[in-house]
A and B are shown apart, each in its own frame.
Chain A
Amino acid sequence: DIQMTQSPSSLSASVGDRVTITCRASQSISNYLNWYQWKPGKAPELLIYAASSLQSGVPSRFSGTGSGTDFTLTISGLQPEDFATYYCQRSNSSPFTFGPGTKVEIK
C-alpha cells in the first residue's frame, strides 16, 4: 500500500503568519491528494481536493500545490480559527490512506 507522511508533525505559529505543511506519498499518486482540517469535537472539513482545487466555501487563504509524490498546503495569513490539525489523504484508490497529521498551535 502507498504510505503517506507529513512534516512537520506539529508547529507553532502566530496569527498572520504564512504556514506551509508538506505531505509525501511513497509512490506517485498524480494529483489524487486531498487536505482536511480537524478540530476536537468537530467534523473534519475538506479544504482542498485534487491537490490544488479549493473546496466551495473554504477561505482563499488556503491553497494546495504538488503532483506525483510531493504536496504542500499553505495557509497565507493564519487566522485564530485555523489552529487545528491538518491531514492529507490519497484519493486515487482504496485504501484512502491519510497522513499522520500536522497540528498547528498558537505560538
Chain B
Amino acid sequence: QAQLVESGGGLVKPGGSLRLSCATSGFTFVDYYMSWIRLTPGKGLEWVSYLSSSGSVTHYADSVKDRFTISRDNAKNSVYLQMNSLRDEDTAVYYCARRGVIGGVIFFDYWGQGTLVTVSS
C-alpha cells in the first residue's frame, strides 16, 4: 500500500520561504510522476505542480509559477516543494499526491495527510 507523508509546514511571514518534503513508501517511486496540491478554505482544492518520474519535466499553476520549485530525490523516494516569495493567499494545507494514468486519463490515486502552511505577519 502506497504511503505518503508530508512535512515542513509552518508559520511564515509574507515574502518568506519554506521547503516542504514528502516521503513515500510502498510503491516504485521512480515509476511515477508526483504532484503537489493544496486545499484552502476559500478556494477548495488547487493543483499546484507536477514533476515527471525522471525530474526533467515540471509544470506549475500560474498562481505559483516563478515562486515555487518542485524537485525529487529518487534515491530517497521523496519529492519536495520549495516555496519562495510567499503570499497570504498561499496559506493552505499542502498535499503531495501520486499521479496515475490510464488510457490518457490522469488522476491522483494516493495522497498524503497534508502539511499546513500559514503565511501571516
Contacts and interface: CB of A to CB of B under 8 A. Distances in A.
A4 to B, nearest CB: 10
A31 B105 contact: yes
A97 interface: yes
Interface string A89-107: 1011011111111000000
Interface residues of A, number: 27
A87 B97 CA distance: 15
A101 B39 CA distance: 11
Given A31-B105, A50-B102, A50-B105, A95 B47 contact: yes
Interface stretch (A20-28, A41-49, A70-78): A41-49
Interface of A: 31-32, 34, 36, 38, 41-46, 49-50, 53, 55, 87, 89, 91-92, 94-101
Closest 5 CB pairs of A and B: A43-B111, A98-B45, A96-B47, A49-B107, A50-B105
